[in-house]
Amino acid sequence: MFVKSRSYWASRTSAWALATAMIIGSVSCVGADDGKRTYHIEAKSTAAALNEYARQAGVAIMFDFGEANKTTAPALNGSYTRKEALGALLANTRFVIASEVDGAIYLKVSERQGGGNTPVAVEAEPTEVVVTGTRLRNAAPASPVTLITRKDIERSGYSNAGDLARSIPQSFAGGQNPGVMQTPVEQNNNSFNSSTLNLRGLGTDANLVLVNGHRLASDGPFGGSDISGLPLGALERVEIIADGASALYGSDAVAGVANFITRKDYSGVQLGARIGGATQGGGFEQVYNVLAGHTWTGGHLLANVEYGKQDEILTTDREVTASAAPFNTLLRPTERKSLFVNIGQDITERLTFNADAYVSQHESDVKIQFFKTDQRIAGQNGSRSYMIAPGLTYRAGGDWTITADATISRGYGYYRYSPQTSAPYKDMFRSLLKSGEISGNGTLLALPGGPLKLAIGVGYRDEHYRKSSMGSPLVDQFRRNVTFAYAEALVPLVSPSDTRTGLNRLDFSVATRVEDYDRYDRTSTYKYGVRYQPVPGVIVRGTLGTSFKAPGLSELAQPFNAILYNAQVMGSTTPGVAMLLVGGNPDLKPEHAKTWTVGVDWSPELWAGSRLSVTRFNIAYRDRVLAPVTPFTQALSNPYFASFVVLAPTPQQQTTATAGARRIANFSGQTYNPATLLALVDDRKLNVSRQEIDGIDLAIRGPVELPTGDLDLFASATWLKVVQQTIASMPPQTLTGKVFNAPKVRARAGATWSVGSIVTTGIVNYLSSATDTYVTPERTVASWTTVDLTIAYRLAGEGMFSDIDLTLAVQNFFDADPPYAYGPGRTQEGINFDSANTSAIGRFVSIGLKKRF
């Protein structure tokens, strides 16, 4: 479920697109459906069951959420009409059908105590809306959605949200993530030991992280939000859209969006504890949390507090890294704390208040010695985040709601290092985000095929970035603000019918958004979506749209420096001095992308409850920001960099180029003479790079009934190809499948076996082979396969021994070492594996206990 948008529609292109959609929607469509269809709904709370019913029936339902959480709906498996299926789910509740208008069903609480199979019709008084995706209520998205459910979270065996998000094949573990060592790829280095999302390997700054629909601020210069403190116990589910979503959410949503959605229906208190460690030694982990919640008619309160600590693992603790310099941390010792609170309350029959509050902190130590002959560097790093997001929702006439939201989020990251031979230093990075939005959502008009739904909104966002260094009066900072507007519409072209073969259902959606920054030109994006259901159980979907990413505030704020080198260091065959300009650029423009997806979802009737999904995706990403002369040691020898080189620059050209430079440093070992400078190389960040991202996602899931218990099978895989052209004069190069970059193929498959009170889950993780390009000739790095195992057991005791869950989790069950790679050892001696994709921790065993009151 995606919480309401932070955007609003306005622009001539967007208006044309929306008008076109409305005109198309006005054509003659096919009427409603009264036939039977097959339903598969597990026994669960009535609220959750109605959510699932709405998805499978393809209808919108409005009901009192608090009331629905008081009862349990029975399992529903078989062929029913919509009315029969709803009647069975509501048989033991006080709900009755208030009315059914334009394909939306309104439920009302009556004084009955349950009993009949058919709810009684009375006047409408809707109080709650089931949201099944996108920003439009009760509209399934055309984009591919990866859903991590509460059940998946409990069976995963993970202790934090970062590991959970990185487990899906669409995610890349490089960048600001634990375990990543020194790499020559700047954006894939680990500076703060945070946990960030990196879909498709496009960088943490090309992903948008939401908590109940609210943006989290980044915690450093790479644009990633730390998700390590998000409470697993409080999460209801995680929805990840690996598709361009700027038309819905604005800047940064190029690779996709992850929305961490918390529980609102939990009543009681849960105490949790987890301890574990690596069987090869080190890494002892302890996590403690308290989850408390309460629901009442018209309101709810949820709070989660968590503390976690993990000991270090040194390179000397592992045979595969024994040849590294001894003063090195393989896994940094970390301490983290977090608090999350969510509250909701009906103020009147039509007005509801809701608020999220979140604060987290983690601190780590690190020891670095790149080579045995190098100096030792001891350091500390960490991040802190907080978010406060209050909102009001007003239920207007019909099914319309008007929402006013505000968000204040702050991220802080730092690293402090103490080299042996120089003074210690500390860099601190702060990001502050403030936003507000007013939006509306409801049915615009009734069409023959169903209701035409519309979501609109306007908003404002203020962003501020600041970097400071210990002992320095200099501060790098940048501030910008943006007003935005959006609209999204769903046009039902053909209404649902299980008896109309070849044209069961057809929906068209369009979204558009305008963001008007105070620093550069207005940016407009769009997204079209189609969902076509030829027969029951088969959905063909597709999207086409544009996305953008505003330049990183750190890239805009960073000053540039002029550095003098011996020209031969930069590739010259002529002795002398050359000047290199490096740093940020306040004139950077937004990055842009065109995206499309085509996919099929199939739920075969012969395998009840199963689902097969395949998606082809493409992202054409242009104007990416990077330092164009990479590596700069080839600046004067590689003809591809000629456009960034000025040979024999005049003194006036040098003066103009260095105007505004923070400093001019001379590392050439020679006296600087402007009259004899051999070359001037401009390696400041520019909008120059292009990327073509292409791939296929596969997913399958389905239950199998066995005499000895129930088996749930699942598998997912991603084939990915990322081709980058750094500058127009250079040939494109494939990044995927090379060390320190995203793999070509990543897959995950497993099964969950449930027998009585014991639930066992086994998962096989696969990473395809890679090419080590940091050696000559290039070498192949072997594929990597690991196995995870989780066993959960619910005690059948009474009193204090009731409602107790015990969990045994084993990551890397067979203790597989990472594949050997020679190239990474050239960056850090003895680290001969790709730490951006694999791990040398080995088998990790943990035991967890949860007690509910």
Q: What are phi and psi of 401, to 5 degrees?
A: -125, 145
What are the pLDDT digits (tens) for 331-365?
999 999 999 999 999 999 899 999 999 999 999 99
- Residues above pLDDT 70, as percent of the chain: 91
Residue 402 counted as domain residue:
yes
**What is the band of 28 on the pLDDT scale with cuts at 50, 70, 90?**
very low
pLDDT for 127: 36
pLDDT for 123: 36
What are the pLDDT digits (tens) for 581-598?
999 999 999 999 999 999
pLDDT for 24: 32
Q: Which domain holds residue 453?
A: 145-628+685-852
Angle at 183 between CA 179 and CA 187, to 5 degrees: 90
- Residue 23 predicted with pLDDT over 60: no
8 Å CB contact between 306 and 848? no
Task: Take residue 369 and report the two structure tokens written for it.
Answer: 């010695």
Residue 594 counted as domain residue:
yes
* Cβ-proximal residues to 483 (8 Å cutoff; 6+ apart), any chain: 458, 459, 460, 515, 516
Q: Which amino acid is at 58?
A: G
CA dist 805 to 383, 757, 782, Å? Answer: 32, 9, 39
- Residue 285 predicted with pLDDT over 80: yes
Q: Which residues pair with 363 in a beta bridge?
A: 335, 382
C-alpha distance across the termini of the chain, in Å: 28
Residue 21 counted as domain residue:
no
8 Å CB contact between 166 and 557? no
Q: Of 160-164, 183-187, 462-466, where does mean pLDDT reach its minimum?
A: 183-187
Q: Which residues pair with 314 in a beta bridge?
A: 329
CB crowding 39-75: b at 16 or more within 10 Å, else e: bbbeeeebbbbbbbbbebbbbbbbbbbbbbbbbebee
pLDDT for 103: 52
DSSP secondary structure of 760-787: EEEEEEEE--EEETTSSS-EEEPPEEEE
Give me the CATH number covering residue 376.
2.40.170.20
749: left (phi over 0), alpha (psi -120 to 50) or beta: beta
How far, rounded to the nearest angstrom, does the alpha carbon of residue 5 sit from its chain's CA centroid? 16
Count of domains forming the chain? 1
What are the pLDDT digits (tens) for 757-781?
899 999 999 999 999 988 889 999 9
Task: Take residue 822 and report the two structure tokens written for it.
Answer: 């020679």
Residue 355 counted as domain residue:
yes
Residue 11 counted as domain residue:
no
Residue 641 counted as domain residue:
no
Residue 61 counted as domain residue:
no
**What is the band of 35 on the pLDDT scale with cuts at 50, 70, 90?**
low
**What is the band of 328 on the pLDDT scale with cuts at 50, 70, 90?**
very high
pLDDT for 96: 80
Instruction: Select from 628, 629, 598 the least CA-distant residue to 614.
Output: 598
pLDDT for 39: 84
- Residue 12 predicted with pLDDT over 50: no
Q: Can you tell me the mean pLDDT for 124-140?
A: 56
User: What is the average pLDDT value for the chain, to the nearest integer?
Assistant: 87
What are the pLDDT digits (tens) for 240-269?
999 999 999 999 999 999 999 998 878 899
Residue 139 counted as domain residue:
no
Angle at 244 between CA 240 and CA 248, to 5 degrees: 85
pLDDT for 550: 92
Task: Take residue 824 and report the two structure tokens written for it.
Answer: 């990474």
- Residue 129 predicted with pLDDT over 60: no
pLDDT for 65: 66
- Residue 133 predicted with pLDDT over 50: no
pLDDT for 25: 34
